[in-house]
């Protein structure tokens, strides 16, 4: 495993005048890491595993599209197939993003995991605010499933038919569906999905069911009973939204017990979040965590798919949901593979995947620390881990006419939109494990997007 040389990425809150405003941060590294020669999808195929990622349809161009198309053999729409996305107004459908993802997958010889048909969240307000008899609710659900599964018949390898039906203690979650229809909604949903596309593999998907615990045992008992009743259930999805260093020790055992029931298992939403800022120790632990999850899947024949919930830290749900946490995916915000990427590759039998170390362990992180109607104060922190600098220069291009007016702890020049800041006489040296920060004031109007910083 290489040591960390990866640009670190994070989001912080920036203090705006009178109010806290979330502002995206961007970190750029001194060097660009290169992915393994053999794509993850190829490594996975050699082990009989499909390797997937959740995607956002509008981002499937440029570097994001290149990586999504080349490294992965399966795509899951992160949001595009949810009920609230496809039928925001009753009877009025919007399939644009879902269609786009399916077309991209077909063009790149990828599977699609459909996500998700029956959930308590991200439903349209007309549905959740309505007052329905159970017969009406049942027919709404059947129509939804028939319409959506039917539309993509033959194009979806697997559907997360039912998402997150359980509480942590293994009782059924109180939802629109459970409260209105009882637990029978699960068998009905599977049966209706099967009728609409008999070839799609049908899954129940949940979180905190990765290890052997009350919740996963409830899922196990449900699947067992559905199988006994002849209900079409093909697999279970273990989401695997994990916390750094907390891969359950019973993961493989748990995968195996589901496999022994006669269903497939997929790791459907893998990410490993950490308290920010990331550092080389945390990134190495994260690599070990990704590696052990993938290795557990590799060890069980019926574990068929490992999907990451976003492949880049720039497209992850974590920072906005868990303030102070992030860096949860295998690529940083700048699309450089992180140690976690190589952890996945190694678990899939990749060899020679670790690029030779360079002086790439120094990163520059740009942030807006306060902002008012015409101006803002920003800073750039240069931090090294596993490398050091004797002098430095941080450069970026402003995309919205921002203009530096004053800088401290660096000499900054701006020519047009191009800014270059070089170390002062006293802070060119950044030791391994150390950092320096310089600051500036600037003007802005309209918008103040965060630029990409290049360190040299």
C-beta of 241: minimal distance to ligand 9MR in Å?
6
Q: In the bound complex, which residue of the shown chain has the CB atom lying closest to ligand 9MR? A: 317
Choose which of 95, 126, 317, 322 interacts with ligand 9MR (CB under 6 A). Answer: 317
Instruction: Restricting to residues 401-420, name those near ligand 9MR by CB under 6 A.
Output: none
Q: Are 328 and 381 in contact (CB under 8 A)?
A: no
Question: What is the dihedral angle through the alpha carbons of 399, 402, 403, 407, rounded to the nearest 10 degrees?
Answer: -100
C-beta of 65: minimal distance to ligand 9MR in Å?
18
168: left (phi over 0), alpha (psi -120 to 50) or beta: alpha
Beta pairing class for 454-455 and 393-397: antiparallel
CB-wise, 54 or 296, nearer to ligand 9MR? 54
C-beta of 358: minimal distance to ligand 9MR in Å?
33
Nearest CA-CA partner of 260 in 227, 287, 229: 227
Tell me the site size for ligand 9MR, rule CB under 6 A: 9
Choose which of 123, 239, 307, 402 interacts with ligand 9MR (CB under 6 A). Answer: 239
C-beta of 196: minimal distance to ligand 9MR in Å?
21
C-beta of 148: minimal distance to ligand 9MR in Å?
15
394 forms bridges with which residues in the sheet? 421, 455
Distances (CA, A) of 342 to 2, 30, 42, 70, 384: 8, 19, 14, 16, 21
Site string for ligand 9MR, 179-218 (x = CB under 6 A): ----------------------------x-----------
Instruction: Restricting to residues 74-133, name those near ligand 9MR by CB under 6 A.
Output: 78-79, 121-122
C-beta of 124: minimal distance to ligand 9MR in Å?
14
Q: Are 203 and 236 in contact (CB under 8 A)?
A: yes
CB-wise, 201 or 273, nearer to ligand 9MR? 273
346 carries an active-site annotation: no
Please identify which of the residues 148, 210, 269, 346 carries the catalytic annotation. Answer: 269
Tokens coding 391: 């002098």
164 carries an active-site annotation: yes
- Given CA atoms 275, 40, 354, 245 in this order, what sign does their dihedral have? positive
CB-wise, 122 or 351, nearer to ligand 9MR? 122
Please identify which of the residues 87, 97, 164, 346 carries the catalytic annotation. Answer: 164
CB-wise, 125 or 413, nearer to ligand 9MR? 125
CB-wise, 42 or 56, nearer to ligand 9MR? 56
Site string for ligand 9MR, 160-179 (x = CB under 6 A): ---x----------------
C-beta of 152: minimal distance to ligand 9MR in Å?
17
Site string for ligand 9MR, 251-270 (x = CB under 6 A): ------------------x-
Q: Which residues bind ligand 9MR (CB under 6 A)?
A: 78-79, 121-122, 163, 207, 239, 269, 317
List the catalytic residues: 164, 269
């Amino acid at each position: 495993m290489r040591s960390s040389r990866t640009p670190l990425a994070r989001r912080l809150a920036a203090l705006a005048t009178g109010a806290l405003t979330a502002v995206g941060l961007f970190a750029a590294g001194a060097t660009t890491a290169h992915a393994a020669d053999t794509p993850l999808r190829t490594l996975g195929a050699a082990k009989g595993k499909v390797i997937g990622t959740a995607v956002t349809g509008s981002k499937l161009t440029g570097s994001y599209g290149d990586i999504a198309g080349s490294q992965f053999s399966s795509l899951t729409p992160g949001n595009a197939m949810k009920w609230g996305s496809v039928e925001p107004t009753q009877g009025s459908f919007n399939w644009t993003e879902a269609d786009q993802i399916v077309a991209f997958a077909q063009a790149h010889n990828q599977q699609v995991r459909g996500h998700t048909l029956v959930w308590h969240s991200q439903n349209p307000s007309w549905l959740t605010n309505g007052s329905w008899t159970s017969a009406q609710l049942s027919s709404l659900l059947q129509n939804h499933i028939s319409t959506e599964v039917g539309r993509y018949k033959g194009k979806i390898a697997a559907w997360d038919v039912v998402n997150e039906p359980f509480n942590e203690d293994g009782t059924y979650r109180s939802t629109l569906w459970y409260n209105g229809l009882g637990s029978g909604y699960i068998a009905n949903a599977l049966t209706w999905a099967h009728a609409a596309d008999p070839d799609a593999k049908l899954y129940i998907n949940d979180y905190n069911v990765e290890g052997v615990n009350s919740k996963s045992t409830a899922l196990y008992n449900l699947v067992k009973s559905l199988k006994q009743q002849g209900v079409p259930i093909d697999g279970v999805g273990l989401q695997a939204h994990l916390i750094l260093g907390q891969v359950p020790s019973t993961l493989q055992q748990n995968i195996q017990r589901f496999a022994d029931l006669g269903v497939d298992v997929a790791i459907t939403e893998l990410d490993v979040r950490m308290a920010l800022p990331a550092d080389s120790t945390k990134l190495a632990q994260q690599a070990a965590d990704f590696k052990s999850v993938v290795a557990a899947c590799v060890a069980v024949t019926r574990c068929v798919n490992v999907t990451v919930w976003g492949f880049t830290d720039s497209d992850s749900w974590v920072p906005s949901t868990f303030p102070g946490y992030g860096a949860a995916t295998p690529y940083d915000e700048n699309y450089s593979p992180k140690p976690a990427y190589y952890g996945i590759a190694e678990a899939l039998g990749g060899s020679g995947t670790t690029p030779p170390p360079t002086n790439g362990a120094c990163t520059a992180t740009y942030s807006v620390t306060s902002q008012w109607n015409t101006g803002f104060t920003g800073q750039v922190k240069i931090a090294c881990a596993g490398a050091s600098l004797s002098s430095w220069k941080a450069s970026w291009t402003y995309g919205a006419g921002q203009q530096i007016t004053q800088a401290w702890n660096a000499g900054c020049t701006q020519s047009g939109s191009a800014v270059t800041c070089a170390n002062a006489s006293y802070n060119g040296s950044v030791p391994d494990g150390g950092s320096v920060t310089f600051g500036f004031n600037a003007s802005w109007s309209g918008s103040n997007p965060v630029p990409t910083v290049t360190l040299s």
